[in-house]
């Protein structure tokens, strides 16, 4: 993804919500440019793509609402909303390509770059769907038209000239898929991810307008047109008899005409038009999400107050039943030939046993690193989540997907530039995981020239402490280790906010803390403290990572995800991690490639930069009755000494 594509912009919630959602909420069926896939519905952001629909004075008399369709850049069918990224007037595509004789060299070059961006992002068509099962080698992809007679003729023609057993047929109906299967082809009428197919074939045959035509050009495949389409007759495709030759256009010119002249693009988060490049970048984020969540058969152990956020990660393409009974969740996942997605703290020995017996995988879902404004312990829903198919980032006893990303990814210059921009934005906006506490300045009490060391407290029964804390299992022991490592430092102890809220274990009495600490700070935000300390002594706390972002020295007494990469002073070895990372490589893997983020305005999966912008708006993070009740409960527990 290109650096700077997600520029950090400020906008008020009411203004954004009005532009994003608008007043158009009706869902209507519309024609589809391809035969394969689910029925297309016109979305609630159509007024952004075609504002003339909302103004009778500016209305194009030739604009037929029913003729507006998505382009090749289709949006996944998310559960709550699926606004279109792009659209065009279906009946005008061919004319736009035909009449675009003034395409410049710059236009052609941009068209080629867009095709390369599509191929690199592997988006377009129903990219979020399952990869089709292909049990034998194929070299030809056949996209059948809706018309049964034309599709039958196309099948017969292909079977007469090719080895049908090496042909994969995409059919608009199950009846045509069965007919293709009888000819010897591998066939499906289900939507599928086009890119695994394009990886395997040399040639793509199309019998009608379909996203596969443009995607074939993007993938560098031979395109054979059995009927006139927008891309046929220009010398870039091999056309069957009866398909007229219309002139000469380069591939870049065709892409520019189709993706720039004939298409319009909408930013689904900011509610305004955007460029084709921005649209593809958003789709690339959704592609990453699709690859992470594809294969989930059931969802287990999700607290009711965060179910919407977890389920928003999943498309409506498949059923993902929620279940809180281990045996039932495993059975449902097995029936769907998928994995159980389970909240990490709810994974029990019973669930693990049933999954092992049924040969069903258990994947973990957990809070991400830039979470929300408010505490999870107070039932504030997360707006950042990680889905890990190997382990989980806070468990050093086995590999996780984050560890694999950090160990093996070749980070591109563009990704590192984006990571650097994100790092600077987090510091400038003073953003942390929970974003709680006051932002007033810290008053220094240490002597002039004395080093200040921060010790962040943790929830002592947290799984990161139990799995990665080693011999240290409580905050008092951590304070003792920090004092031993920094005998001359001014040590600040900051209790964990969940513990302070009376919701979790980990209380250290002030008198005990002062045996090792010089100061206890409770109400200041973590970013404020990190601005003024020289070093951080952490067990497994995310504060250590946030300190690295700010260039602070970090001494690690446990095995958190950010240790072992050459950036921290580690007291415990992490043998599997044998790669030296730069800070921006750590940031890119941890904040860009591993988590997924949810926009509280649109309820769509979003880039992290969008969530950062939303965190600036206090109107989005007002505590409702549920959170107020949890806070009161925590205060009562604290007053009764039940922490």
Phi then psi dihedrals of residue 641, to 5 deg = 70, 30
Strands 452-456 and 490-494: parallel
Burial 427-443 (b: 16+ CB within 10 A, else e): beebbbbbbbbeeeebe
Distance CA 445, CA 448 (A): 9
Other C-beta atoms within 10 Å of 608: how many? Answer: 22
Element (DSSP H or E) covering residue 223: strand 222-225
Distance CA 554, CA 395 (A): 20
Burial 504-533 (b: 16+ CB within 10 A, else e): bbbbbeeeebeebbbbebeebbbbbbbeeb
pLDDT per position as a tens digit, 360-402? 999 999 999 887 555 444 457 888 999 999 999 999 999 999 9
Phi then psi dihedrals of residue 278, to 5 deg = -65, -40
* Residue 455 near residue 491, CB atoms below 8 Å: yes
Distance CA 393, CA 400 (A): 6
Phi then psi dihedrals of residue 388, to 5 deg = -120, 120
- Please choose, from the candidates 12, 16, 5, 70, the residue with its C-alpha nearest in 3D space to the C-alpha of residue 43: 70
Other C-beta atoms within 10 Å of 352: how many? Answer: 15
Regions of the chain with pLDDT less than 50? 1-14, 22-40, 57, 375-378, 630, 633
CA R_g for the chain:
28
Distance CA 349, CA 329 (A): 14
Distance CA 380, CA 498 (A): 12
Cα distances (Å, whole numbers) of residue 176 to 162, 209, 240: 18, 17, 21
Handedness of CA 254, 260, 262, 266 (dihedral sign): positive
Phi then psi dihedrals of residue 206, to 5 deg = -125, 145
Neighbouring-strand partners of residue 300: 323, 342
Most distant pair of Cα atoms in the chain: their distance? 90
Distance CA 366, CA 343 (A): 6
Phi then psi dihedrals of residue 425, to 5 deg = -65, -40
Distance CA 364, CA 151 (A): 44
Query: Helix, strand or coil for residue 385?
Result: strand
What confidence score (pLDDT) does residue 3 get? 45
Other C-beta atoms within 10 Å of 324: how many? Answer: 13
What confidence score (pLDDT) does residue 7 get? 44
Query: Helix, strand or coil for residue 445?
Result: coil
* Residue 69 near residue 32, CB atoms below 8 Å: yes
Element (DSSP H or E) covering residue 296: strand 296-300
Other C-beta atoms within 10 Å of 146: how many? Answer: 16
Distance CA 126, CA 143 (A): 14
Structure tokens at 641: 């000494």
What confidence score (pLDDT) does residue 604 get? 94
H helices present in 22-74, as ranges:
46-49
Q: What is the DSSP letter of 261?
A: I
Distance CA 463, CA 357 (A): 25
One-character DSSP codes across 116-173:
HHHHHHT-SSSTTSPPPP--S---EEEE--S-HHHHHHHHHHHHHHS-GGGEEEE-SS
Distance CA 114, CA 111 (A): 5
In order of their start, the domains of the chain are 45-131+192-292 (no CATH), 413-620 (3.40.50)
């Amino acid at each position: 993804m290109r650096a700077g594509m997600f520029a950090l912009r400020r906008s008020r919630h009411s203004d954004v919500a009005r532009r994003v959602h608008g007043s158009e909420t009706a869902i209507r069926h519309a024609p589809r440019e391809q035969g394969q896939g689910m029925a297309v519905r016109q979305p609630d952001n159509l007024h952004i793509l075609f504002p003339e629909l909302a103004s009778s004075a500016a209305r194009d008399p030739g604009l037929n609402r029913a003729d507006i369709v998505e382009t090749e850049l289709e949006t996944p069918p998310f559960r709550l909303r699926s606004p279109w990224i792009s659209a065009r007037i279906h009946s005008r595509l061919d004319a736009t390509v035909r009449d675009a004789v003034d395409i410049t060299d710059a236009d052609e070059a941009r068209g080629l770059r867009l095709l390369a961006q599509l191929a690199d992002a592997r988006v377009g068509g129903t990219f979020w769907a399952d990869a089709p099962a292909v049990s034998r080698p194929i070299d030809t992809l056949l996209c059948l038209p809706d018309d049964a007679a034309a599709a039958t003729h196309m099948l017969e023609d292909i079977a007469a000239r090719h080895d049908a057993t090496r042909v994969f047929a995409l059919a608009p109906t199950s009846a045509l898929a069965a007919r293709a299967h009888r000819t010897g082809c591998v066939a499906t009428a289900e939507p599928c991810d086009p890119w695994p197919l394009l990886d395997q074939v040399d040639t793509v045959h199309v019998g009608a307008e379909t996203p596969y035509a443009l995607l074939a050009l993007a993938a560098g495949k031979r395109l054979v047109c059995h009927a006139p389409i927008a891309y046929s007759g220009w010398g870039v495709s091999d056309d069957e008899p009866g398909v007229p030759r219309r002139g000469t256009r380069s591939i870049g010119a065709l892409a520019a005409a189709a993706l720039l002249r004939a298409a319009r693009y909408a930013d689904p988060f900011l509610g305004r038009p955007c460029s084709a490049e921005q649209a593809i970048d958003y789709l690339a984020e959704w592609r990453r999400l699709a690859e992470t969540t594809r294969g989930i058969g059931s969802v287990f152990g999700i607290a009711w107050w965060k179910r919407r956020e977890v389920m928003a990660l999943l498309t409506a393409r498949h059923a993902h039943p929620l279940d809180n009974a281990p045996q039932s969740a495993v059975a449902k996942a097995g029936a769907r030939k998928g994995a159980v997605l389970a909240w990490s703290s709810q994974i029990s020995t019973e669930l693990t046993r049933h999954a092992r017996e049924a040969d069903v995988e258990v994947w973990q879902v957990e809070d991400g690193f830039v979470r929300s404004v408010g505490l999870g312990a107070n039932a504030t829903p997360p707006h950042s989540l990680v889905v890990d198919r190997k382990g989980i980032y806070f468990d050093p006893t086995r590999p996780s997907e984050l560890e694999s990303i950090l160990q093996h990814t070749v980070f591109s210059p563009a990704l590192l530039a984006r990571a650097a921009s994100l790092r600077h934005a987090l510091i400038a906006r003073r953003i942390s995981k929970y974003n709680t506490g006051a932002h007033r300045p810290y008053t220094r009490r240490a002597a002039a020239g004395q080093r200040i060391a921060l010790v962040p407290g943790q929830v002592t029964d947290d799984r990161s402490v139990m799995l990665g804390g080693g011999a240290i299992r409580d905050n008092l022991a951590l304070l003792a280790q920090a004092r031993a490592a920094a005998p001359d430092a001014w040590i600040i102890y900051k209790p964990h906010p969940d513990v302070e809220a009376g919701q979790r274990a980990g209380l250290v009495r002030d008198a005990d803390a002062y045996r090792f600490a010089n100061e206890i700070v409770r109400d200041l935000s973590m970013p404020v403290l990190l601005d003024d300390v020289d070093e951080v002594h952490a067990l497994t706390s995310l504060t250590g990572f946030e300190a690295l972002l700010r260039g602070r020295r970090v001494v690690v007494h446990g095995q958190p995800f950010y240790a072992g990469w050459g950036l921290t002073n580690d007291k415990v070895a992490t043998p599997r991690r044998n790669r030296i990372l730069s800070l921006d490589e750590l940031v890119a893997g941890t904040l860009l490639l591993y988590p997924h983020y949810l926009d509280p305005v649109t309820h769509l999966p979003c880039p992290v930069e969008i969530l950062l912008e939303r965190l600036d708006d206090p109107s989005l993070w007002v505590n409702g009755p549920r959170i107020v009740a949890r806070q009161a409960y925590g205060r009562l527990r604290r007053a009764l000494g039940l922490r």
